[in-house]
Amino acid sequence: MTTASGITLQGVTAPLRWSDYKLIAFDMDSTLITIECVDEIADAVGRKAEVAAITEAAMQGHITDYKESLRQRVALLKGVTVQQLDDIYATRLRLTPGAQQLVAAAKAAGLTTLLVSGGFTYFSRRVQQRLGIDLARANVLEIVDGRLTGRMVDQPWGDIVDGAEKRRTLLEVASLLGIDPHQAIAVGDGANDLPMMGAAGLSVAFHAKPAVRAQAKVAIDEGGLDRLLEIME
């Protein structure tokens, strides 16, 4: 294990080479952006503390059924309006410092960029566009008459993006690109990121939960996402 200021490497040595990788996959909530969207939506209906406690337990890995935990949280969001969602995006959602720089550097190095989130397309599509990310997969909130119903919409690939789906998405994209999964980088912070991080050649924990940090090859504990650029060439 080697440690620089705020960065820990386990099983790898710097500098790492961009040329060894062809794909980089990012979690969204608390990784590319500074908030957990589901918690902020819950705040609109006065349920933030309740929902945030479930989110924290899921991210720590204390809840084994991520899909059920997300269904429980989304059910509590029933009645939130599209206007409230727009307000959350406008006033609370902020890109993580260094996100734009890291995505730009990866793209300049020729990597395909992927956002794969247990969050919601209502936000991920806008984040994808802002950062110029090539591909994205997230969950779809059901909206009827301008309000959340408390349910999610099944998609052609399945129902909910959980840890297993994140891993499957990374492997699917790698296959479509004709690359080995070890030519992928996966960046995340929560327990549901561990399956895709384990499948990738380089796993990066960003201000992560202890269980995630312990298993990652690179852990960034201080500063922004662009800290990864310090160990890449």
d(CA 139, CA 151): 10
| Candidates 20, 27, 154, 159; catalytic one | 27
**Residue among 105, 94, 96, 121 at smallest CA distance from 24:** 105
Which residues lie below 8 Å from residue 224, measured CB to CB, with a gap of 6+? 96, 97, 98, 99, 101
Angle (CA) 57-63-64 rounded to 5° is 155
Catalytic residue at 20?
A: no
DSSP class per residue in 129-190: HHHT-SEEEEEEEEEETTEEEEEEE-BTTBS---HHHHHHHHHHHHHHHT--GGGEEEEE-S
Helices H, strands E: what count in the chain? 9, 9
| Candidates 20, 29, 145, 193; catalytic one | 29
Catalytic residue at 27?
A: yes
**Which residues are catalytic, by number?**
27, 29
